[in-house]
Structure 1
Amino acid sequence: MTDLPILGAALTLDSLETHRKLMLDKPRDLELQDFVTADVLNGDWQPLVDRARALLEGHEGRVGIHGPFWGFSVDTMDVDVREVVKKRLWQGLDICEALGGTHMVVHSPFSTWDHNNLDNYDRGLERKIELCHLSMKDAVKRAEDIGCELVIENIEDKDPYARIELAESFGSEAVKISIDTGHAHYAHGSTGAPPVDYYVKAAGNRLRHIHLQDADGYADRHWTLGEGTINWHSVFDALGQLDSKPRLIIELRDHSGLPASIANMAALGLAQ
């Protein structure tokens, strides 16, 4: 058991308070989810950071946040919207710095439509990457300066390699790859994408973060691990080939399923 990977979690501050003992029993990585909305980002978020720091006393895992994503995509073509995107990413990194956070999740801009249509246009992929640079370049430099990784999470991505090409285009150690197992399983079941473990293999040691959630291959379920149809043995076998030590973050819709998720993976001999 002691050699098995240690599972962390994505939690709100309220849920962290509920599951604090569990999150402190081992060096479990934590992702805070309280900082994704414009109301919080535009308001006085310092009390939330102060509360987080108090709850994390004695915590030995890595800490980060889910970055803002509601209402925009990082490849926006609208110059006015782009200024909002840049502002939101900067605000998220302000919070990361205040927390001492080492990762911020950024949503991939790649859709199923892109998979079928980018090659239908001259420089389709190149243009999409250029648009992302216009929105993200300042945030990338800021992330480098504060020791934070921007991890790009698959959302609708049918091709596991597209956002890898995007991440590598920045030429920065501050831009890495995230995988959401439920999103990959949805893409596999509903759009003909590869299975989840193929996403892990595609990312290789560029993978620094993974959202672990179970699903049925039809929708974005965020079920307790073990309650869906993901082949967890194949996923953890692929993770076991990596040296990048990605943050293993259980991300559930119902946070009360966290203890059962850990117990179910432990019973399979996959994680602790």
Structure 2
Amino acid sequence: MTVPLIGAAMLLHNMDILRDWLFDKDRPLEIQDFIPPGIIAGDTSALLRQWQVALQGHHGPRGIHGPFFGLDITNPDTEIRTIIQARMYKALDIASALHAEWMVLHSPFTFWHSLNYTNYPLLRKTLFQAAADCLGPVLERAADAGVTLVLENIDDTSPADRSDLIAKINHPNLKLSVDTGHADLAHAKYGAPPVIDFLQHAGTNLAHVHLQDIDGHADRHWHPGHGRINWKPLMTALAKHPAQPPLLLEVRNNHNRIPKTAAILENLLTGN
């Protein structure tokens, strides 16, 4: 069995710390500098050039995290949807310029939704249609750019919501992402299924994984092993997962410790 190499989601200023580790084995890399509204809505040309220079010599899998603040893909207001789509188009242009393979989008589904699907019988259908209308032209642009949009669980309590949505939209450039910390937080707070069930439910549509640990109270983005997640069965499941998605550490602090954390997780992937 070939053990997948774990990479990192990062900002440009972390490249000095992680460049050799990432580049020596062409590990997966996710660029996250283009998320903030003040950046994606402004002139990104200088930052884009900096990243193009920084990536010279990297030949591993690569993606970007798309913008998400205030950009609900189920927004029913068509004028606001136009702005949401414009932000995504610009992010896709950046992804293309950086030769990215994926772009992360945030799921719109919440605990409130799951509690009210019966209370409001048309709610789920309405959300799905709004997301399909919003993402339709974005997906065509993504296909032209060779970028896969991966829909990441955020406040989701049911893995079925995102799976059913991408089945409805049925576009080859729309797949699933699982964030381990988000899934465990939903499990702790809302009684959602455990993290491993989010991974298994995604099946062959799983195209991306964020690895992070939490304490069950907030979205900590701690290094795996510093929170409550049981990583051994999780990594065993990922080693056997039929999709074999890129695995990226998405931690908030102590980026200098990422290589050590990755080595521990890769050891677990081998069954040790």
Q: What is aligned with 2:262?
A: 262
Q: What is the CA–CA distance in structure 2 between the aligned matches of 1:28 and 1:231, rounded to whole Å?
A: 24
How many residues align? The count is: 270
Q: What is the CA–CA distance in structure 2 between the aligned matches of 1:134 and 1:18, rounded to whole Å?
A: 41
Q: Aligned-pair distance for 1:227?
A: 0.9
Q: Structure 1 length normalisation: TM-score?
A: 0.94
Q: What is the CA–CA distance in structure 1 between the aligned matches of 2:29 and 2:124, rounded to whole Å?
A: 33
Q: What is the CA–CA distance in structure 2 between the aligned matches of 1:124 and 1:93, rounded to whole Å?
A: 30
Q: Structure 2 length normalisation: TM-score?
A: 0.94
CA deviations on 1:99-139 (whole Å, 9 max, x unpaired) are 11110000000000011112222222111011112221111
- What is the letter of the counterpart of residue 83 of structure 1? T
Does residue 1:227 correspond to 2:229, yes or no?
A: no
Q: What is aligned with 1:34?
A: 33
Q: What is the CA–CA distance in structure 2 between the aligned matches of 1:270 and 1:232, rounded to whole Å?
A: 13
Q: What is the CA–CA distance in structure 1 between the aligned matches of 2:38 and 2:141, rounded to whole Å?
A: 22
Report the more deviating stretch, 88-97 or 113-122: 113-122
Q: Is the 8 A contact 2:5 2:266 kept in 1?
A: no
Q: What is aligned with 1:84?
A: 83
Q: Is the 8 A contact 1:30 1:64 kept in 2?
A: yes
Q: Is the 8 A contact 1:226 1:264 kept in 2?
A: no
Q: What is the CA–CA distance in structure 1 between the aligned matches of 2:216 and 2:71, rounded to whole Å?
A: 25
* 5+ long unaligned stretches in structure 1: none
C-alpha RMSD of the superposition? 1.6
- What is the letter of the counterpart of residue 121 of structure 1? Y
Q: What is aligned with 2:208?
A: 209
Q: What is the CA–CA distance in structure 2 between the aligned matches of 1:236 and 1:87, rounded to whole Å?
A: 37
Q: Aligned-pair distance for 1:266?
A: 4.0
Q: What is the CA–CA distance in structure 1 between the aligned matches of 2:206 and 2:58, rounded to whole Å?
A: 23
Q: What is the CA–CA distance in structure 2 between the aligned matches of 1:16 and 1:118, rounded to whole Å?
A: 44
Q: What is the CA–CA distance in structure 2 between the aligned matches of 1:238 and 1:5, rounded to whole Å?
A: 13
- What is the letter of the counterpart of residue 175 of structure 2? K
Q: Is the 8 A contact 1:65 1:103 kept in 2?
A: yes
Q: What is the CA–CA distance in structure 1 between the aligned matches of 2:180 and 2:4, rounded to whole Å?
A: 16
The equivalences for 1:1-272 within 5 A come to 3-254=2-253, 255-268=255-268, 270=270
* 5+ long unaligned stretches in structure 2: none
Q: Is the 8 A contact 1:17 1:55 kept in 2?
A: no
- Percent identity of equivalent pairs: 38
Q: Is the 8 A contact 2:235 2:265 kept in 1?
A: no
Question: Alignment partner of 1:156: what SS?
Answer: coil
CA deviations on 1:134-181 (whole Å, 9 max, x unpaired) are 221111111111110000000000001111111121111100000000
Q: Aligned-pair distance for 1:267?
A: 5.0
Q: What is the CA–CA distance in structure 1 between the aligned matches of 2:171 and 2:196, rounded to whole Å?
A: 25
Question: Alignment partner of 1:61: what SS?
Answer: coil
Q: Aligned-pair distance for 1:61?
A: 1.1
